[in-house]
Amino acid sequence: MGAPALRMYACGPTVYDYGHIGNFRTFLHVDVLRRFLRQQGVAVEHVMNVTDVDDKIIRNALAAGKPIAEYTTRFERAFFEDMEALGIERPEHTPRATEHIPEMVSLIERLAAKDIAYQTEDGSWYFRIARFAGYGKLSKKDLEGIEDGARVDADEYEKDAARDFALWKAVKIGADGVSEPSWQTALGAGRPGWHIECSAMATALLGESFDLHAGGEDLMFPHHENEIAQSESASGHPFARHWMHVRFLLVEGKKMAKSEGNFYTLRDLLLKGHRASAIRYLLLSVPYRHQMNFTFDGLAAATHTIERLRTFHRRMLRGGFATDGVNAAVSAATAKAAGDFTAALANDLNTAEATAAISEMVRAANSAADAGTLTAENAEAVLRVLALFDEIFAVLEDRDEERTRAALAWAEAEGRIREAAPELVAKLALGDSEIEALIAERTQAKNSRNFARADAIRVDLAAKGIVLEDSKDGVRWKRK
Ligand code: AMP
Ligand code: ZN
């Protein structure tokens, strides 16, 4: 049997909208952590929840006139597609909050049995923070003057106020007689508060104590403070042993906000022609412990760096180098790069120093190759270090066009193709002959009764805005 896995929990997305690049900065750095642990021989058991019920979801679903499950399914799917586009590995477990209501209820019942959870007149349940001596230990907030019994029922609230927080929200009926989504439970009809969800799912999947808990810096207080309070009060054991908080992403020096006009989802950027690999690389270029400023100049530089790395990689693969001996200087540079790369990541995941180590090797090897003094043995060693680099950064394989095409197909299907850069649409649009070839393939498939394939082609074309019409003189097509 191997060593036990490192158990970690990362707060996942609230699936009420498309993920923005700030969200992905956090998920990308958690991805680096899991990849680096694996590279070091540590198996990881990673849980990332999906928050599919909360205030914002309920508000948006109500406005869209949809049940919350229908509303969230679409954004959850989009989120996992975006993760994939950014090369973020899928955690071992991705539980949905709405599928763990019984665990949340029993956790609240344990707290109620200790008189730490109490019920208010409207039937909601709250956590009494005055009963948890360690409240504030994570965020090190000065919580002097906590008002005993002062309550808040919003999932998120002012960052400096310590308040008893909602564990379970009694069902509310709007003026129009429509009730919020709710579950009939031993606690009464209602729905969970946001914080209890993570405590319940972390405990269900990783146990009462586990190794590491991660999230963006905004979650430290009150979300993670509340998770600790709930979990430790119920279990009597320490909750997470280590915490990792990713500092925020700013855009062009400002907090990202729709009202500032500097708010970008991954899809916004792909539709403007920016490459998924460059976005990944840029968001990883500043270590997680530092705030990062996203700029379009930075994105252009990342695109250029990846080009350079890929060209260099191909050059090393192509070979044709001298077969006798080694260039000692390049050998030394390669060994140093490998050592520095690993040391940088081992030093609190210093991604900036890690990439700098690789750049130095690229420079040394490129100039030796230019001078004709790089040998085949050197190239092999260089390729091994590049592989080490790519196990973490995952940008060498070029899947950018595929990601961009997928984003365009999505925009097309959503009627949002106007948001895409016209030159991109023109470049990637299917040409007439390609369309005709696909239609011929579909006819073939139909004739051989392979209806699944025939349908898949039709759906794929439809996603690209091409509609087929079967008639007795064959298939006609048009662009939507
Ligand atoms: P949410 O979907 O809002 O629950 O957020 C998902 C994750 O993204 C959480 O870990 C947040 O802390 C993180 N996050 C949100 N905004 C930013 C930002 N601007 N920079 C970095 N991380 C963020
Ligand atoms: Zn959480």
Mutate to test the pocket of ligand 1, among 218, 264, 286, 288 (most ligand atoms within 8 A of CB): 218
**Which residues form ligand 1's pocket by a CB distance below 6 Å?**
11, 13-14, 22-23, 25-26, 215-216, 218-219, 246, 248-249, 256
Rounded Cα gap, residues 105 and 89, in angstroms:
31
Let me know: does 445 contact 425? Beta carbons within 8 Å.
Answer: no
pLDDT digits (tens, 9 = 90+) for 64-115: 999 999 999 999 999 999 999 999 999 999 999 999 999 999 999 999 999 9
Radius of gyration in angstroms for the set of CA atoms belonging to the chain, rounded to a whole number? 26
Taken in order 427, 23, 359, 84, is the CA torsion positive or negative?
negative
Ligand 1 atom closest to residue 19's alpha carbon, by position in its atom list: 2
Mutate to test the pocket of ligand 1, among 15, 18, 23 (most ligand atoms within 8 A of CB): 23
pLDDT digits (tens, 9 = 90+) for 286-311: 999 999 999 999 999 999 999 999 99
Q: How far is CA 70 from the centre of its chain?
A: 21
Query: Which ligand has the shortest distance to the CA of 201?
Result: 2
Tally Cβ neighbours within 10 Å of residue 69. 14
Rounded Cα gap, residues 404 and 258, in angstroms:
23
Tokens of 76: 């959850």
Tokens of 294: 């996203």
Q: Give, in degrees to the nearest 5, the angle at Cα 245 between 262 and 8.
A: 125
- Distance from residue 60's CA to the centre of ligand 1 (Å): 19
Q: What is the pLDDT of residue 3?
A: 75
Residue of 230, 275, 259 lying closest to 399 (CA atoms) = 275
- Distance from residue 420's CA to the centre of ligand 1 (Å): 25
Query: Which ligand has the shortest distance to the CA of 213?
Result: 2
Across the beta sheet with 240-246, the strand order is: 44-48, 6-10, 210-216, 240-246
- Distance from residue 224's CA to the centre of ligand 2 (Å): 7
**pLDDT class of 149 with cuts at 50, 70, 90:** low
Q: What is the pLDDT of residue 304?
A: 98
Ligand 1 atom closest to residue 216's alpha carbon, by position in its atom list: 12
- Distance from residue 286's CA to the centre of ligand 1 (Å): 16
Which segment of 97-111, 139-153, 397-411, 416-430 scores lowest on mean pLDDT?
139-153
Contacts of 472 (CB under 8 A, 6+ apart): none
The long-range contacts involving 442-450, CB below 8 angstroms and separated by at least 24 positions, are 442/468, 442/475, 443/474, 443/475
Query: Which ligand has the shortest distance to the CA of 48?
Result: 2
- Which residue in the block uniquely carries the two structure tokens 């990673």? 46
Ligand 1 atom closest to residue 218's alpha carbon, by position in its atom list: 12
Instruction: Tell whether omega for the bond before 67 is within 30 degrees of 0, i.e. cis.
Output: no
Q: What is the pLDDT of residue 145?
A: 57
- Distance from residue 221's CA to the centre of ligand 2 (Å): 11
Ligand 1 atom closest to residue 25's alpha carbon, by position in its atom list: 21
The secondary structure of residue 219, as a DSSP letter, is G
Ligand 1 atom closest to residue 250's alpha carbon, by position in its atom list: 19
Q: What is the pLDDT of residue 454?
A: 93
For residue 275, CA distances in Å to 228, 253, 296 come to: 39, 22, 12
Q: What is the pLDDT of residue 150?
A: 72
Percent with pLDDT over 70 in the chain: 96
- Distance from residue 107's CA to the centre of ligand 1 (Å): 26
Q: What is the pLDDT of residue 167?
A: 97
Residue of 75, 24, 22 lying closest to 50 (CA atoms) = 75
Tokens of 308: 């350079």
**pLDDT class of 141 with cuts at 50, 70, 90:** confident
Let me know: does 444 contact 412? Beta carbons within 8 Å.
Answer: no
According to DSSP H, which parts of 65-148 are helical? 68-85, 101-113
First vs last C-alpha separation in the chain:
57
For residue 163, CA distances in Å to 76, 168, 252 come to: 31, 15, 34
- Distance from residue 411's CA to the centre of ligand 1 (Å): 24
pLDDT digits (tens, 9 = 90+) for 233-271: 999 999 999 999 999 999 999 999 988 889 999 999 999
Q: E strands along 270-399, which residues?
A: 292-294
Rounded Cα gap, residues 463 and 441, in angstroms:
17
Check: pTM over 0.85? Answer yes or no: yes
Q: What is the pLDDT of residue 2?
A: 67
Residue of 142, 100, 151 lying closest to 122 (CA atoms) = 151
Contacts of 285 (CB under 8 A, 6+ apart): 292, 298, 302, 351, 352, 355
The secondary structure of residue 98, as a DSSP letter, is G
Tokens of 122: 């409207």
